[in-house]
Structure 1
Amino acid sequence: MQPFRHIAITGKPNDTAVIETISGLVTHLENRGCTVHLDAGMGTGITGVPAHASLEQLTETIDLLIVVGGDGTFLHAARRIATADIPMLGINRGRLGFLVDVSPDRFDEIDAVIDGRAQIDERLMLEARVMHRDEVVARSLALNDVVLQKWNTSRMIEFDTWVNGEPCNQHRSDGLIITTPTGSTAYSLSGGGPIMHPGIHALAMVPICPHTLSNRPLVVSADCVIQVRVQSAEVEHVHMSCDGQTNLPLTEEGCVEIRAASHQLRLMHPPGHRYFDILRAKLHWGDSSRPC
């Protein structure tokens, strides 16, 4: 792998810890001879580096994007540059941090990635389309999940699902999570969904508080197209989101199609990264010091 020399940095705006980390990172990278660009939304509080272009514009000149913050910041940035095939490295200034797994003080790990000694992790992404009479009326990408859930009613909602055009289930629940392996440790995990290794080419359909106990999480091939049709009387009570950040409108007599996106995310890790080390650390597996 060739070293990275043209690097963009983005992070959570107006966060003191993030700004301090980025300031130190910019100095470190420039001392190593890298050309550093800041996302226009990150210009405040950082001197000496111009921030006059958005990430979408910077993708034409950079070969690596560094995200400083938490997983939410990383998800937002991933959707913004998803079609540009720019590798991403996450530096953790948030809380849990499944995606941003480099500590801000580990310049040795950052240097290893910059020098081309990174481990590359190809991550599946989703494309959600809102269809109405065979026309796409709205669409968005997601790295973690697409969620349909009730939002302004205490009653359950009713909807039907198909997989590759084959009837799957008639649901009465609080909603449905369609997740990638990356998202399987996010909202889906709280809903009782399976943890999927990121190398698996699969999607999971996880019901939210289903009415029947037989309505269980279902894992399908990522080659499948999942269709969801909400009953017309329920549409106004259903909220649809991608990664919990981008909202899509639903239409009466329309449906939602979710499939694997044509682009995958290239996630960079420092040498020695091990997926199950991350799981054990974040989920406290095998931690005998924690009470039952």
Structure 2
Amino acid sequence: MKVGIVANPQKPGAQRTLSRLVEELAGVGIASIFEENTAKMIGHEGGLGGIELAEQSDLVAVLGGDGTMLHAVDRLGGTSKPVAGVNIGTLGFLTSCTDGEVGEFASALKTGNYDTSRRTLLSVSVVRANGEAEQFTALNEAVLARGQTGRVGGLRASVNGELLNRYRADGLIVATPTGSTAYSLSAGGPLISPSAGVFVITPVCPHTLSQRSLVVDDGVVVELAPYGEMDGPMSFTVDGRDIVELHQGDRVVIEKSPTDLHLLRLPGRSFYAALRQKLNWRGG
């Protein structure tokens, strides 16, 4: 087995965790290969780009936190290989174990004592008024939000070509079940089990209380666009990155990606266990 490793060099303790993971993997006979910046962290030469790393690995380990995982998913190019998150700190929603559990993680890889959680990805197109398009992939969400003017923006949403609503709000989020624990949750959206075949559309600070979150089938195509008078461009992001300005006549087309993320889970590291820990719910 070869494990590809992507580490966040900005995360305190990342180099120490990386060295320990490599040592633990070697101890059970598993080879490590490294993404370019990760290789530099420990003085290795010949690191690989994200897509090449995924192609040459049997499994990819991402060292950092949930934010590091979101960036890694994009860089790995929609790989079908299992992806494991090693959180440097407490357990996150997207991570398989903490940095204090890398020995347990290595043993699980050796014995095959793990499973995977299939996570929906979003395929997103920003279509300009002139017909030009840019493509993006998201694990959590796509967001269309007001720009820098501070005024509440007008946003139009449609589902399968039918008008859903015209919103007066700071923004509009289209999230996967995985993303339901992120920005959508902070905006008042519901928690959704990762295996549910749905998207959730959540307005951010809507002008009227009647504009609520809506859960829709993930087989639909959701389209977002600015409407009405605009003082300036609106901002579009996926997973908190790739900030793009949208102008009148531009639109965002969101649908389920043909590929999924296969998120590695160790025994006892379920979505519900993460909810109990992160949200301080009572459990046995």
Fold conserved between structures, TM > 0.5? yes
Aligned 8 A contact 1:112 1:271 in 2: no
Q: Closer, same or farther in 2 for the Cα pair 1:151/1:135, shift >3 Å?
A: closer
Aligned residue-pair number: 283
Q: 68-77 vs 232-241, which deviates more? A: 232-241
Given the alignment of the two structures, is residue 286 of structure 1 paired with residue 282 of structure 2, yes or no? yes
SS in 2 for 1:91: strand
Q: Closer, same or farther in 2 for the Cα pair 1:133/1:150, shift >3 Å?
A: closer
Given the alignment of the two structures, is residue 23 of structure 1 paired with residue 19 of structure 2, yes or no? yes
2:224: which partner in 1?
Answer: 228
The Cα shift of 1:116 comes to: 1.9
Given the alignment of the two structures, is residue 12 of structure 1 paired with residue 8 of structure 2, yes or no? yes
SS in 1 for 2:99: coil
Deviations 1:100-133 (A, max 9, x none): 1402222123321343221110000111111135
For 1:258-269, what aligned pairs fall within 5 Å after superposition? 258-269=254-265
The CA distance in 2 between the partners of 1:11 and 1:114, in whole Å, is 21
The Cα shift of 1:151 comes to: 3.0
Aligned 8 A contact 1:235 1:251 in 2: no
AA aligned to 2:133 is V
For 1:89-168, what aligned pairs fall within 5 Å after superposition? 89-94=84-89, 97-106=92-101, 107-132=103-128, 135-168=131-164
The CA distance in 2 between the partners of 1:274 and 1:212, in whole Å, is 37
Taking only the aligned residue pairs, the percentage that are identical comes to: 33
Q: Closer, same or farther in 2 for the Cα pair 1:228/1:45, shift >3 Å?
A: closer
Given the alignment of the two structures, is residue 169 of structure 1 paired with residue 168 of structure 2, yes or no? no
RMSD: 2.0
Q: Which runs of 5+ in 2 are unaligned?
A: none
Aligned 8 A contact 1:141 1:242 in 2: yes
AA aligned to 2:253 is E
The CA distance in 1 between the partners of 2:273 and 2:52, in whole Å, is 36
The Cα shift of 1:30 comes to: 1.8
1:46: which partner in 2?
Answer: 42
1:79: which partner in 2?
Answer: 74
The CA distance in 2 between the partners of 1:39 and 1:135, in whole Å, is 35
The CA distance in 1 between the partners of 2:54 and 2:177, in whole Å, is 26
SS in 1 for 2:24: helix
Q: 245-254 vs 153-162, which deviates more? A: 245-254
Given the alignment of the two structures, is residue 64 of structure 1 paired with residue 59 of structure 2, yes or no? yes
SS in 2 for 1:121: strand
The Cα shift of 1:16 comes to: 4.2
The CA distance in 2 between the partners of 1:76 and 1:272, in whole Å, is 26
Tell me the TM-score normalized by structure 1: 0.91
Deviations 1:193-223 (A, max 9, x none): 0000001010000000101111000000000
The Cα shift of 1:95 comes to: 5.4
